[in-house]
Amino acid sequence: MDLAIKIEAIRTQLHEHAHRYYVLDEPQIPDAEYDKLFQELQALEAAHPELQTPDSPTQRVGGKPLDAFASVRHAVPMLSIRTETDTEATGAQAFDARVRKELGLLELEPPVEYVAELKFDGLAMNLRYEAGVLVQAATRGDGETGEDVTQNIRTVGQIPLRLVSPALGTGVSSLPPEGARFALGGGSGVTSLAVPPILEVRGEVYMRRDDFEALNDKQRAKIAAGAKGEKTFVNPRNAAAGAVRQLDPNIAAQRPLSFFAYGLGEVTPAEQGGPNFDSHYAMLQTLKSWGFPVSGHTCIATGAPDLVAFHQRMGAERDSLPFDIDGVVYKVNPIALQRQLGFVTREPRWAVAHKYPAQEQLTTVQAIEVQVGRTGKLTPVAKLAPVFVGGVTVTNATLHNEDEARRKDVRVGDTVIVRRAGDVIPEVVSVLADKRVEGAEQFTMPRHCPVCDSAAVREEGEADYRCTGGLFCSAQRKQAILHYAQRRAVEVDGLGDKLVEQLVDAQVIKTLPDLYRLGLMALANLDRMAEKSADNLLQALEKSKQTTLPRFLFGLGIRHVGEATAKALASHFGKLDNVIEASVEKLLEVSDVGPIVALSIRTFFDQAHNREVVEQLRACGVTWAEGEPATQAPKPLAGKTFVLTGTFPNLSRDQAKDMLEAAGAKVAGSVSKKTDFVVAGAEAGSKLEKAQTLGIVLLDEAAMLAMLPTQESL
């Protein structure tokens, strides 16, 4: 019948586009186009419910809430794997030695071939396909019996609802093999294998770190708006587990989950036409050709040295991965050898998990200190009993502000879970309520600055308390000096926080210009300051006097005036005095300056002591080339947002940033839907991945340079 064929044709297209979007990160059509097709299918199915099928892409959006999950007995038990006890790289050698011994291999014999994989920190899932259609998804449970979570798993975009045999196929066959050493797995021609009638694929359902952060942001907003029964999640694994075990699939559909395949369950036997893999790696490549996401970090490793190298390499890369891993997994690659090795009790002898230091640890809160930032912002910080977490020793964790500290209800003496994963700063994720010591008091924000005792105020609509002491406050003064001296501001090489601390505490420096009045004597009198370093500092100070107007303006530390605004002000007004005298109206004419920023600049220069600081700095010899107020320089990239990632062949990141900004572009720190271009160099990490997911235009250094105006036209 015509209509049935039409519906099937739309479904096939949608399956293919979903695969390209979620698994390959190479969308071929705009989101709106996909949505249109999807809506067309929805309408057709609504008009003809008899043509509805469980593998239709419309089934990804949820369904009726359940009372409980049904039990599923696994056709093949879901085993776990042994964890190598030696957490050092030598653990890999221990595993190799055991495997070789079991196989009766002597030292002179060739090395064993392994597959090295990541150990994803999520939850194991068994996906059952019959005739290529997803019919059931089950959790591991106790290994024998799990829970039927099919409804929820259907909402995961990366999990195919229907498999297509590449040889017969509609598109998923054109996958380039990801591992260069593909042929070593012994599976020549595997990508043309047909999908067997029964196929169970096993892998890990997990949540990406950025999806986790975004989910928690959403949860926090709901809590702030007074929603009842909402909570934030402790880590991506808990969030993923919560989503999978959610009885209401509509809620599950809103929790962004991802999937990696790493193994098989029940499969039609070879005698009955099922696949006959000769290696684990060939099996993974085939799963990929059938539409499953397989991690690109999976690789063939020859002998113990390759395993050790993999463990070390992934240990170093762990922080920059877009998802949590808790270790790596080694598996013997040839299936014949796996058979020979067999199992001990319930664990295969041919695989082992080799863990990394945990990213979460228990520790205790020794104190809650309040730190004062450059603009007077007061930040509560939990001082922790030192704890080794995520590869570093952590002694501090920010509690952000009063509301956050209250929400988590962290108290002195509490036992807390600290998490450090990726490049995210260490965080207290939760308090163990039953370990609370009696009499522990709730944290309250001080109403006075802990450093200078000036009043601390929290303005209407703001989350932060601020010390009102300004440069009277030595904490703010220290931060102001460090801000002025930083590399992207006026740059005083070698003036670090320890030194500034000493200089301010010893009252050698009270205001910024005092920096330029430092003499060798005063410096040499400081603790731990050798004459040589004192001399170097004086030279660095001398050098810093020759600067540029944008650097100087940025270095003054005017609230809301970041580097980009400082540059815009400098090119708009040309001369410092023009900025100092500009009215709020005039300031508003500068691109990128809004009312809050304009007012902040005006207020800063209205204060006599700030103008005095500027005059004295000039009197001390700080100087720059002043320009003319802007004549319209060409700004071909105005309105465009760039993100830079990785290492470029010729330019430093700062140089690239300067050049883009000079051409009118905005350079942002993270990739979002608003990003127009991502310039990627060598070893680009999660930003590149995110850009690919969002379908943002990627450039290399040369392509970026080609977009800039030539020198003559500037």
Tokens 């708009």 -> residue: 572
| Closer CB to ligand IVH, 331 or 687, in the complex | 331
Does residue 124 touch ligand IVH according to CB under 6 A?
yes
Beta strand pairing call for 133-139 and 123-130:
antiparallel
Q: Rounded to whole angstroms, how far apart are CA atoms 627 and 624?
A: 9
Q: Is 119 a catalytic residue?
A: yes
Burial of 161 (0-12, 13-18, 19+ CB in 10 A): buried
Return all residues near 633 (Cβ < 8 A) that are at least 6 apart. 571, 662, 714
Interface segment toward ligand IVH; rule CB under 6 A; list 54-62, 113-121, 244-252, 614-622: 113-121
| Closer CB to ligand IVH, 57 or 263, in the complex | 263
* Size of site (CB under 6 A) for ligand IVH: 14
Please, what is the Cα angle at 697 between 694 and 701, to 5 degrees? 130
Q: Cβ 334 to ligand IVH, closest distance in Å?
A: 16
Does residue 358 touch ligand IVH according to CB under 6 A?
no
Tokens 């450039």 -> residue: 699
Does residue 263 touch ligand IVH according to CB under 6 A?
yes
The one-letter code for the residue type at 22 is Y
Q: Cβ 200 to ligand IVH, closest distance in Å?
A: 13
Instruction: Determine which one of 119, 331, 355, 567 is catalytic.
Output: 119
Q: Residue from 72, 253, 353, 576 that binds ligand IVH (CB under 6 A)?
A: 353
Interface segment toward ligand IVH; rule CB under 6 A; list 116-124, 152-160, 446-454, 478-486: 116-124
Q: Residue from 62, 322, 348, 450 that binds ligand IVH (CB under 6 A)?
A: 348
Distance of CA 358 to the CA centre of its chain: 18
Does residue 80 touch ligand IVH according to CB under 6 A?
yes
| Closer CB to ligand IVH, 323 or 443, in the complex | 323
Question: Tokens at residue 243, please?
Answer: 């989503």
The one-letter code for the residue type at 283 is M
Does residue 81 touch ligand IVH according to CB under 6 A?
yes
Q: Rounded to whole angstroms, how far apart are CA atoms 335 and 278?
A: 5
> In the range 608-667, which residues lie near ligand IVH by CB under 6 A?
none
Question: What DSSP character marks residue 21?
Answer: I
509 to each of 238, 438, 442, 519, 555, how far by Cα in Å?
A: 50, 45, 38, 11, 17
> In the range 683-702, which residues lie near ligand IVH by CB under 6 A?
none
| Closer CB to ligand IVH, 120 or 552, in the complex | 120
Half-sphere exposure of 638 toward its Cβ, with a 13 Å CA cutoff? Answer: 8
Interface segment toward ligand IVH; rule CB under 6 A; list 230-238, 269-277, 346-354, 410-418: 346-354
Q: How many residues does the chain have?
A: 714
Does residue 79 touch ligand IVH according to CB under 6 A?
yes
Q: Rounded to whole angstroms, how far apart are CA atoms 89 and 62?
A: 44
Does residue 238 touch ligand IVH according to CB under 6 A?
no
Contact letters for ligand IVH, residues 196-215 (x by CB under 6 A)? --------x-----------
Question: What DSSP character marks residue 434?
Answer: G
Return all residues near 550 (Cβ < 8 A) that are at least 6 apart. 563, 566, 567, 569, 570, 571
Longest C-alpha distance within the chain, in Å?
A: 96
Question: Tokens at residue 589, please?
Answer: 């004419």
User: Please, are residues 341 and 363 in contact by the beta-carbon 8 Å criterion?
Assistant: no
Q: Residue from 117, 200, 306, 324 that binds ligand IVH (CB under 6 A)?
A: 117
User: Please, are residues 376 and 457 in contact by the beta-carbon 8 Å criterion?
Assistant: no
Return all residues near 30 (Cβ < 8 A) that are at least 6 apart. none
Q: Residue from 15, 119, 420, 572 that binds ligand IVH (CB under 6 A)?
A: 119
| Closer CB to ligand IVH, 204 or 210, in the complex | 204
Q: Cβ 356 to ligand IVH, closest distance in Å?
A: 13
Interface segment toward ligand IVH; rule CB under 6 A; list 79-87, 373-381, 507-515, 661-669: 79-87
Indicate the SS3 state at residue 698. strand
Q: Cβ 326 to ligand IVH, closest distance in Å?
A: 8
Question: Tokens at residue 281, please?
Answer: 């790696």
Does residue 381 touch ligand IVH according to CB under 6 A?
no
Q: Residue from 159, 283, 329, 568 that binds ligand IVH (CB under 6 A)?
A: 329
| Closer CB to ligand IVH, 96 or 117, in the complex | 117
Q: Cβ 138 to ligand IVH, closest distance in Å?
A: 13
Q: Cβ 321 to ligand IVH, closest distance in Å?
A: 13
| Closer CB to ligand IVH, 120 or 182, in the complex | 120
The one-letter code for the residue type at 631 is T
Q: Report, as residue numbers or ranges, the catalytic residues.
A: 119
Q: What residue ranges bind ligand IVH (CB under 6 A)?
A: 79-81, 117, 119-120, 124, 204, 262-263, 329, 348, 351, 353
